[in-house]
Amino acid sequence: MRLSTILLVYIAILIIGYFAGRQKAIAYSHALDAGRTMHSLPMYHGYYVLMWGAIPAIIAILGYFFMGDGLVLDRVIAGLPDEVRSLPESRLNLVLNDIRVVAAGAETSGESEAYIQSAADSLNAGREFLSLLLGLAVVALSSTGCYLAWRNLSGDFRARNRVESAIQVLLVMAASIAVLTTIGIVFSVLFESIRFFQKVPLFDFLFGLNWSPQTAIRSDQVGSSGSFGAVPLFLGTLMISGIAMIIALPIGLMVAIYLSEYTTARVRGVVKPLLEVLAGIPTVVYGYFAALTVAPLLRDFGLSAGLQISSESALGAGLVMGIMILPFVSSISDDVINSVPQSMRDGSLGLGATRSETIRRVVLPAALPGIVGGFLLAASRAIGETMIVVMAAGLAAKMTINPLEAVTTVTVQIVTLLVGDQEFDSPKTLAAFGLGLTLFIVTLILNIIALHVVRKYREQYD
């Protein structure tokens, strides 16, 4: 049975259930004495029936998606010739892949073995059977659910409260999906990093001055150990995001002050959304801009000033990244400055302070914690940014503090470590997770501090 058919039938049953429940409630309400009302509106009775029709069947459908294919495959494997079944895990997987491909009706390269063809047939048959089963189960579950719920309805049934708790459960589930995903990500990075740190000591990683993972390609090569001192990467990251912050902080702050204190509402209404458009530009586009426009400009400028600026430089990447995070700084600062109560400004102006004195001495100090929070958020954005740096700062892990040279960052190295065709458990690939974890911890700390600071500030005026 086709899945779409099953879904259509399912939805039809639910709609019927809804109206049946509603209808029954309406009938009850007609039977009531004048002046009395039912506990719940007919609509809620309808939703209650719908809910009970929907939930058991949705569990069946989810179960089908997550486990159905596995069950069928197990049966297919059981039907394979013994010598195939006793193959090692990875080879077996290749065979299974072939079976899947044939089952999907695609041409395979070369002549496929007879057992593959027959396994593919049994796979298809199994799938067919399973989906039929699913169809029957869905129809049975949803109609029984609806019926039982419908029978349960009565004039004073508290359907509204039931629906309320169901909605609560739904929301909790949605929230836990987000939380669980985060936890999952953290753990996957964590486990791989632990494997990395089993091969490379944590101390060497955090404090080593030499980064050259490329040497560790094959075990029979000389110098195969590679070296994973991440300090040059940290330095590069620090330098580029530092340059970005040096650009973004003052400009962003001034933009925010201009927007919140000096413009009319009309200008603000135009300029602020425009600035926020900057935040929506894909970072790849900033990358082009950095590599194709800013870098040549810098190089030419360097030539005329007698400076050697390489075409991939920390400076160029940092400048463009500064422009990228500018809207974060200005937008958050603007919000924070705006939330400083007008009475503060009135108090200062009323004492004969000028507008800029008021801003410097009253508004900014009052808004400072929130602004700092905004800066920290922007900083963690800058540290995690990859694309601009890949395109404009280069790949050389050089130990330098000269912003005119090419440097590399943690994120860029993660990308280059993972795009090679390396064995997955070589230190080179695993190093990416070590770097990822470090990055994650640093930005997490920055974010926690930032949120804490912002929250503390909010409390002050609410």
Write out the residues near another protein by the rule CB under 8 A.
264-265, 341, 343-354, 357, 361-362, 365-366, 460
Query: Minimum distance between the CB of residue 334 and another protein, rounded to whole angstroms?
Result: 17
Query: Minimum distance between the CB of residue 263 and another protein, rounded to whole angstroms?
Result: 10
Measuring CA to CA, which residue among 45, 39, 38 is closest to residue 23? 45
Query: Minimum distance between the CB of residue 297 and another protein, rounded to whole angstroms?
Result: 40
* Comparison of 158 and 355: residue with beta carbon closer to another protein: 355
* Phi, psi at 168, each rounded to 5°: -60, -45
Query: Minimum distance between the CB of residue 197 and another protein, rounded to whole angstroms?
Result: 46
* Comparison of 90 and 343: residue with beta carbon closer to another protein: 343
Q: Which residues contact 114 (CB under 8 A, 6 or more apart)?
A: none
Query: Minimum distance between the CB of residue 265 and another protein, rounded to whole angstroms?
Result: 7
What are the beta bridge partners of residue 212? Answer: 227
* Comparison of 201 and 347: residue with beta carbon closer to another protein: 347
Query: Minimum distance between the CB of residue 337 and another protein, rounded to whole angstroms?
Result: 13
* C-alpha R_g of the chain: 32
* Comparison of 219 and 264: residue with beta carbon closer to another protein: 264
* Comparison of 184 and 350: residue with beta carbon closer to another protein: 350
Query: Minimum distance between the CB of residue 266 and another protein, rounded to whole angstroms?
Result: 9
**Three-class SS of residue 194?**
helix
433-438, long-range: CB < 8 A, 24+ apart:
433/189, 433/192, 433/193, 433/195, 433/196, 434/193, 434/196, 434/197, 434/200, 434/205, 434/228, 434/230, 435/230, 435/233, 435/410, 436/189, 436/193, 437/189, 437/190, 437/193, 438/206, 438/230, 438/410
Contact predicate 291/243, CB 8 Å = no
Distance CA 462, CA 457 (A): 9
Rounded (to 5) percent helix, strand, coil in the chain: 80, 0, 20
* Comparison of 145 and 369: residue with beta carbon closer to another protein: 369
* Comparison of 231 and 349: residue with beta carbon closer to another protein: 349
**Three-class SS of residue 211?**
strand
